[in-house]
Amino acid sequence: MLRETLQRLGELKMMGMIVPEAYGGAGKDRVSHVLCLIEVAQAFPRAGAIMAANHAFYCFPLTAYGSHEQKNIYLQPCTTGIKIGCYAFAEDEAGPETSHVHTKAVKNSRGWLINGRKRFVGQGHIASYGIVLSLAGEERGDRKPSSMVMRLEKSEGFKVGRIEESLDILAFRNAEMMFESVQLPQDVLLGNLGEGMDHLKSIQNESWIGIAALAIGVGRAVLEKTLKWVAKGPLSAKPVSLDQAVQWKLADMATELDAAELLTLRAAWLRDRGKPCKRGGYGQDLCFRCSHEDLDRGRPDHGRVWW
């Protein structure tokens, strides 16, 4: 059922909503993506989780930073729902800093040779395509954190290792990925050499919006089931629906869900306009237009937005 649902979402162009129509997507904005994701998560959370991850961790960085040739080769299959994409960045130390990246991509006459191991790759066990954060450069030169896009299936030297059990949405599991002398062609570098950490921070901002939309969809499903249960009839002398404490609790649930939805839609609206959408938290805010830390640039049109 899950596979058929994903293919149907692909037919409706919901697996790559912000992807331009020329590459198989719907060409919509993030507000539309959030609204659709809330509805899918409310009905089928497993499909919603894969839809959100396929967008934030694969389709978004390819759309934002990929070349025309890369989009044609690597993007279109994952906007149809037939193939799934992922993003591999974490390793044993599980941190986003450059010092935690040990996977290496060495440039040779045939392209790039990747060696290393990635951990906690979301939906890595079902992904056919992936973006890998690695230290890339010449054999004897300096290596910089960079993003490499690749077709995982049928790649000699690549294999999926341990799959971590999950306590939340079972379809979204974290997998271990191992790269043993995986040879990639010349055109797999996403963007420019050394931009990998900027890509990672931008992807994190994008993924938080999807996670929020998933939580809203699941919360609305819980509220709907709760209302149906309360309306069934009395469990004691007085119907549960007439209990004032229960009414207050239901009203609080509905209010908090409405507030969460409005905040998430505002974050998506800000991202659509190239403005930072994060309030505090980990790391610096990034400007989506230039992918640089806006506070250090001193540009009045790229300032931090607090809300």
- Residue 66 — very low, low, confident or very high, per pLDDT cuts 50/70/90? very high
Q: What are 189-228's pLDDT values in tens digits?
A: 999 998 999 999 889 888 999 999 999 999 999 999 998 8
Token digits of residue 141: 């030169």
Position 98 confidence tier, pLDDT thresholds 50, 70, 90? low
Strands 129-137 and 104-108: parallel
DSSP 43: H
d(CA 116, CA 132): 10
Q: What angle do CA 262, 268, 269 make, to 5 degrees?
A: 85
32 pLDDT band, cuts 50/70/90, is: very high
Q: Is the pLDDT of residue 38 over 90?
A: yes
What's the full length of the chain, in residues? Answer: 307
Q: What is the mean pLDDT of the chain?
A: 84
Residue 255's pLDDT band (boundaries 50, 70, 90)? very high
Q: What is the DSSP string of 106-149?
A: EEETTEEEEEEEEEEEETTTT-SEEEEEEEEE-SSS--EEEEEE
Contacts of 84 (CB under 8 A, 6+ apart): 6, 50, 54, 58, 78, 123, 126, 127, 128, 129
Q: Give domain 197-302's CATH number out of 3.90.1150.10, 3.10.20.30, 1.20.1600.10, 1.20.140.10.
A: 1.20.140.10
Cβ neighbourhood burial of 185 (10 Å; 0-12, 13-18, 19+): exposed
Judge whether residue 172 has pLDDT over 70.
no
Amino acid at 32: S
State the pLDDT confidence band at 162, using cuts at 50, 70 and 90.
Answer: confident
Give me the architecture of the 86-192 domain, per CATH. Answer: Beta Barrel (2.40)
Do 2-83 and 197-302 agree at the fold level?
A: no
Contact between 210 and 52 under an 8 Å Cβ cutoff? The reply is yes
Q: Are 214 and 48 in contact (CB under 8 A)?
A: yes
Q: What single letter denotes the amino acid at residue 269?
A: W
CATH hierarchy code of domain 2-83: 1.10.540.10
**What is the distance between the alpha carbons of residues 28 and 237, in angstroms, rounded to a whole number?**
52
- Write down the domain spans for the chain: 2-83, 86-192, 197-302
Look at residue 189 and give its three-state secondary structure: strand
132-160: average pLDDT? 88
* Residue 99 structure tokens: 């010092």
